[in-house]
Amino acid sequence: MPNTPDVLHDPAHAFMPYPGMSVPHAATGPLSGLGFGVKDLFHVSGYPTSGGQPFLLAMLGVQHHTASTVQTLLDAGARFVGKTVTDELAFSMNGQNAHFGSPINGAAPGRIAGGSSSGSAAAVSHGLCDFALGTDTGGSVRAPASHCGLVGLRPTHGRVSLQGALDLSPSLDTCGWFTRDVPTFARVADVLLGEDCEPLPDRVRLLAPADLWALATPGARKALAPARQRIETALGKAGAAKVVLESLDAMYWHFRHIQGHEAWQVDGGFIRRFSPPLGPGVAERFAWSAGVTDEKVAASRAFRDRFRHHLAKLLGTDGVLLMPTMPDIAPRIDEPESALEDYRNRAIRLLCVAGLSGFPQLSLPLSRRDNAPLGISLLGPVGSDRSLVRLAERIAASPVSEA
């Protein structure tokens, strides 16, 4: 069991520098022996909550209650290790916080960890805890999972409680987590997910949508080929499918309009009143979000309803998408902000499939390229979260394909 890290001498730069406080947990339980980190959006009694923003840290201060999901894990016997760095106000995907630093990718130190759950991914990838909570609105679990070589889930929207956590975009926000291996991930899934109301059948209908695979770079597609073969060997040959509705640009902009409008509704009052210094990229995104009109949001929400129906019809009760998690491996940490923003915008075109639909997506660390991890994903019907983890258990038990 990992020791509690010294947050002032944290080699991963993953933890917030808060004084350590005792957080009680059950002496026994299904997660006994496991230590976990918590993204600094979730309240933990005795600890401050910052949302990655110093002015917000000063305003919120030390909390006197614990977020529901954190308490569930404590009651299951897991040991709280510390609060992890989040990208500022959770409105980034790069893993670089201008105020609290950039957590280090334990699987590829010269590359970004990915955000906004960067600290949680860094802590797990460095072995400083067994698992860590994150949130995923636009890709903030799936992106760092792919970049850091971790298992990571964006659950069905609303499946895992966010009570006692800071919002970004409530109709898109989800609570996920990271582990280094599938068996540990499954232990946490038993506690946080329970059983599916309508589980996937033993034999699923695997689908590999060409329109989504085309979003990966040629090098990434080549690197993912052995992982795709391994999954098809375990689950059956993937059939053809078309996921995109209208166009990739339409999906991208509808997602961004919803996210931006809701983010401004959540944080705009705070930003207007205090004019807090916002880091690169974050400041520009909030400035853009302030201008999203009610008419654009209404059109985007209507599109989301159509897309959700489209994907539900495609998947039925047995369909599972096999798709790249991200367009490529993590960018290098010395990339200019403009290049990171371009990468983020490319990635959203892949990531918005789960965001717009609210369906669960599980990223698996089955590939590498240029000595850096690259994730591949399973995306299933609404409510199939635990079934996807069981599929991952089957894949993990299957032989590795010869590259």
What is the DSSP secondary-structure string of 321-370?
EEEESSSSSPPBTTS-HHHHHHHHHHHHHHHHHHHHH---EEEEEEEEET
Q: Return all residues near 391 (Cβ < 8 A) that are at least 6 apart.
A: 200, 204, 234, 235, 320, 362, 378
Residue type at 376 in one-letter notation: I
Residue 401 has pLDDT above 80, yes or no: no
What pLDDT is recorded for position 399? 77
Catalytic residues: 39, 116, 140
| CA–CA distance, 387 with 188 (Å, rounded to integer) | 14
What is the DSSP secondary-structure string of 7-52?
GGG-TT--B--PPP------SSSTTTT-EEEEETTB--TTSB--TT
What pLDDT is recorded for position 403? 46
Query: Percent of the chain beyond pLDDT 90?
Result: 94
Compute the average pLDDT of residues 265-285: 97
Residue 3 has pLDDT above 60, yes or no: no
Query: Percent of the chain beyond pLDDT 70?
Result: 98
* pTM of the model as a whole: 0.96
Give 293-331 pLDDT, tens digit per residue: 999 999 999 999 999 999 999 999 999 999 999 999 999
Position 151 confidence tier, pLDDT thresholds 50, 70, 90: very high
- Cβ-contact 159, 352 below 8 angstroms: no
Mean of per-residue pLDDT scores for the chain = 96
SS3 240: strand
